[in-house]
Amino acid sequence: MWLNQNFLLAKELDFKTAFTLSFMSLRNCEEMTMDVDGTGEIKIQTIDMDLAGDLVQSISSFLNVSDLEVSASSSKYLDGLPLLLNFVVFT
């Protein structure tokens, strides 16, 4: 129900099991993927941390969840961090 209420979909979706959906974000024209497994775990993949935060907040509000375990990874940006820090230190 949350997907149908929060995304511009051509038709209503009805999933009973695990699924993966990919969308193009209108905020930055980048791909955003949601992967939901059979246990209720949701993985959101996007380069936009604001978008990821907004999605987590919206889903938890919809499900009336007040305590939520969340983990985030941004290895794409952390890979270049040592080089950036060296640049900052020496300039």
How much is the average pLDDT of 64-91? 69
> What is the count of structural domains for the chain?
1
Q: Is the pLDDT at 23 greater than 70, yes or no?
A: yes
Q: Which domain holds residue 10?
A: 2-90
Q: Is the pLDDT at 91 greater than 50, yes or no?
A: no
Q: Which residue has the higher pLDDT, 37 or 72?
A: 37
Query: Residue 49 in contact with residue 72, Cβ under 8 Å?
Result: yes
Rounded to two decimals, the pTM is 0.70
Exposure string of 33-47, with b = 16+ CB inside 10 Å and e = fewer, is ebebeeeeeeebebe
Q: Is the pLDDT at 58 greater than 60, yes or no?
A: yes
